[in-house]
Amino acid sequence: MLISLAEELDTSVSVLLGEDVAEPSPDDELNLKSISERLEAINLQLAKRTTMRIRIIRWLLILLGVGIMSIFICLATMGSEYLNWDFNDPELAAAGTLLHAFEFLFVRIAPFAFIVSVIGVVLTYTKDKK
């Protein structure tokens, strides 16, 4: 009932109950203005940091995609030449085994990493334009 009465009289319930409501002083308004300016500056700094992080992530994803493509090109031009090496020599056998293991794992993992990097680049571009 007090709330309805306060609305009709265009005042607050605390005034109806007899409490003193202090009027805002000019110092309070000045403090609020300086606080709002500081908050605005902090928000701008946070927005710049977020934008910079998104750009860095985008460039790292682009570099990952380019690196994957270059390794694929190198492996394709190499044509698994190490398979023709003489594996009786222990050094060539170790090097050939390492190359074969790298190629085996890379060919199976890299396509997924490439797809993730492309999707990440697309998502960071769409997020940047909003």
Confidence grade of residue 114 (pLDDT, cut at 50, 70, 90): very high
> What beta strand segments (E) does the chain contain?
none
Give CA angle at 111 (107, 117), nearest 5°.
Answer: 140
**What is the rounded CA–CA span in Å between residue 2 and residue 13?**
6
pLDDT reading at 30 higher than 70: no
pLDDT reading at 33 higher than 90: no
Rounded to 5 degrees, what are φ and ψ at 23?
-75, 140
Q: What is the tens place of the pLDDT at every residue in 12-28?
A: 777 777 776 666 566 66
pLDDT reading at 110 higher than 60: yes
* Predicted pLDDT of residue 32: 72
Q: Count of CB atoms within 10 A of residue 91's CB?
A: 8
* Predicted pLDDT of residue 29: 62
Average pLDDT over residues 83-106: 89
Q: Quote the pTM value.
A: 0.63
Q: Is the separation of the CB atoms in 113 and 69 below 8 Å? A: no
Q: What is the tens place of the pLDDT at every residue in 58-86?
A: 999 999 999 999 999 998 888 888 888 88
